[in-house]
Copies of this chain bind each other. A is one copy, B any other.
Amino acid sequence: MFEVVRQRATLDKKIYKALEPELRTRLFEAQRQAQEAGIPLVILICGVQSSGRGELLALLNQWMDARLLSTHTFFPVTDEMAARPPFWRYWRSLPAAGRTAVLFGGWYDQPMQEYVQGKIDEDAYVRKLHRRIRFERTLADNGTLVLKFWLHLDRATQDRRLKDLRKNPRPGRKLGEDEIRMGKRYEQVLEAAMLAIRLTDRDTAPWVLVDAYDWRHRNRFVSDVLVHALQGAMDRRAQLSAQGTSSAAVLGEQPRAMSVLDSIDLTLALEKKSYNQQLDSLQHRLTELSWKAWRKGISTVLVFEGWDAAGKGGAIRRVCAGMDPRLYQLIGVAAPTDEEKAHHYLWRFWRHVPRAGFATIYDRSWYGRVLVERVEGFATEVEWRRAYAEINDFEEQLTENGILLLKFWMHISDDEQLRRFEERQQTPHKQHKITDEDWRNRERRAEYRAAVDDMVTYTSTDIAPWTLVSAEDKRHGRIQVLRQVVEQLEARLER
């Protein structure tokens, strides 16, 4: 989930300085138009300690029209608030038509803190999150645009900033007890955030994850997202005023400075000898483990996605070779059948969920919805945005049922893909593997990268993380996959 935003993206000082006037003007202008269109905008600023939430709040107050904007914090809890139901304070903060409300911590800070500090258990936390889903649905049904920002920092950077702050306290910026406590519990905060984002990232009120390492990057990113969303909301408003808003469907493509794919080390490679040894040993272990899983009734679901020619098929064959064919089924996802087309897109995948003790391997999967269907326009933005929540719901049900779910993205560079395509064209028995469509997809590589970034951001969760496979070297890719399967299955069986 945080893979894409922990990359420490930066924006050059000079470029920022040159860009700033334009960014401000565009944001100001978009807000003014939204006012005329009567769209109420709610911005939630959440994130880890020291990620600059306060600075962002200040920035929005500077850059946006302050007459149309109100800022709300919910701490300390005043007598007025304490004496009423918790949501009274949030209702009070809601903007009228055409106005903007910026909410520090929004309606997430409180339940998150209670959960991290152990005051409520997971069931109670989830129940509170569901109340938020219902609340946001109510707002969206009423045409309110709700955008939730999560400002992310890696732990080392956070620690450094907190240390600086203790040494050189800024005026008015003394850390409160709660803040110190939350700062110390970085991992728990992230876990709580992951659960909250997974459950509450709905098309009614999407989360936008922000790499907050560099403030210039952050400012540009957030203002770009806001401008895009406001414009999108106005376009949609024109079409379906009575239908309420899908806040997510106006987000468009997020202006990422870096892709999570850039973080994959493609130089990793394996010698043939070492490869053969490892392959042999891993497949051996897998055979034993898969029978043990069968005896224990533990199921496995493997999902393979990746670039064309990245070696999905090869990796899958190496995994299958380690398992008894009676224990798994391989589902190659081609175009849907007539029957499948007549159902919800998830229906065809539910069909093949393995029974206890067995495995299903999906060669391409439900992620087609947010990859090819998104990029090719087979699914509308409303549809593929909604799919992240649908997929997370689906995967939650698999893992809650004790199924081991592993997802692989096979990654190769642009050059390597070209090399493999050409090789396929020149090798008679491989020619069937390369089609015009593959070449067309190649041209859309940038769009696919954006789709992969969003996919990893929204669906690499605590319950079902993605494994990004370095497959530039085929041998390395295959061993990385096999090792992950073996180790995760082993861990699962020991649990």
Contact = CB atoms under 8 A, between A and B. Distances in A.
Contact of A98 (B342, B382, B401): B342
B242 A243 contact: no
Contact of A84 (B127, B131, B356): B356
A353 B85 contact: yes
Contacts of A131: 393, 397
A127 B123 contact: yes
A98 B353 CA distance: 25
Contact of A353 (B88, B297, B355, B397): B88
Contacts of A87: 350, 397
Contacts of A86: 397, 401
Nearest to A345: B142
Interface string A216-247: 00000000000000000000000010110000
A474 to B, nearest CB: 34
A123 B123 CA distance: 6
A403 B355 contact: no
A163 B31 CA distance: 69
B92 A350 contact: yes
Interface string A242-264: 11000000000000000000000
Nearest to A389: B134
A447 interface: no
A139 interface: yes
A139 B403 CA distance: 24
Nearest to A401: B85
Contacts of A38: 342
Interface string A126-162: 1100110011001101101000000000000000000
A390 interface: yes
A23 interface: no
B96 A339 contact: yes
Most central of A80, A87, A91, A138 by chain B CB within 10 Å: A91
A142 to B, nearest CB: 5
B127 A355 contact: no
A326 interface: no
Contacts of A92: 350-351
A434 interface: no
A84 B353 contact: yes
Interface in A334-353: 339, 342-344, 346-347, 350-351, 353
Interface string A30-53: 000000001010000000000000
B84 A355 contact: yes
A486 to B, nearest CB: 24
A248 to B, nearest CB: 12
Contacts of A386: 141
Contacts of A130: 126-127, 130
A91 B127 CA distance: 25
A96 B80 CA distance: 53
Interface in A68-106: 80, 82-88, 91-92, 94, 96-98
A189 interface: no
A242 B380 contact: yes
B343 A96 contact: yes
Contacts of A389: 134
A368 to B, nearest CB: 16
Interface string A412-436: 0000000000000000000000000
A184 to B, nearest CB: 28
Nearest to A96: B342
Nearest 4 interchain pairs by C-beta: A96-B342, A83-B355, A85-B401, A91-B350
Given A97-B343, A98-B342, A127-B130, 20 more contacts: A40-B342, A80-B355, A84-B354, A85-B353, A85-B398, A85-B403, A91-B347, A92-B351, A94-B347, A96-B339, A97-B342, A131-B393, A131-B397, A134-B389, A135-B393, A138-B344, A138-B346, A142-B344, A240-B240, A243-B243
5 contacts: A85-B397, A126-B130, A127-B130, A138-B344, A240-B243
Interface of A: 38, 40, 80, 82-88, 91-92, 94, 96-98, 123-124, 126-127, 130-131, 134-135, 138-139, 141-142, 144, 240, 242-243, 297, 339, 342-344, 346-347, 350-351, 353-357, 380, 382-383, 386, 389-390, 393, 397-398, 400-401, 403
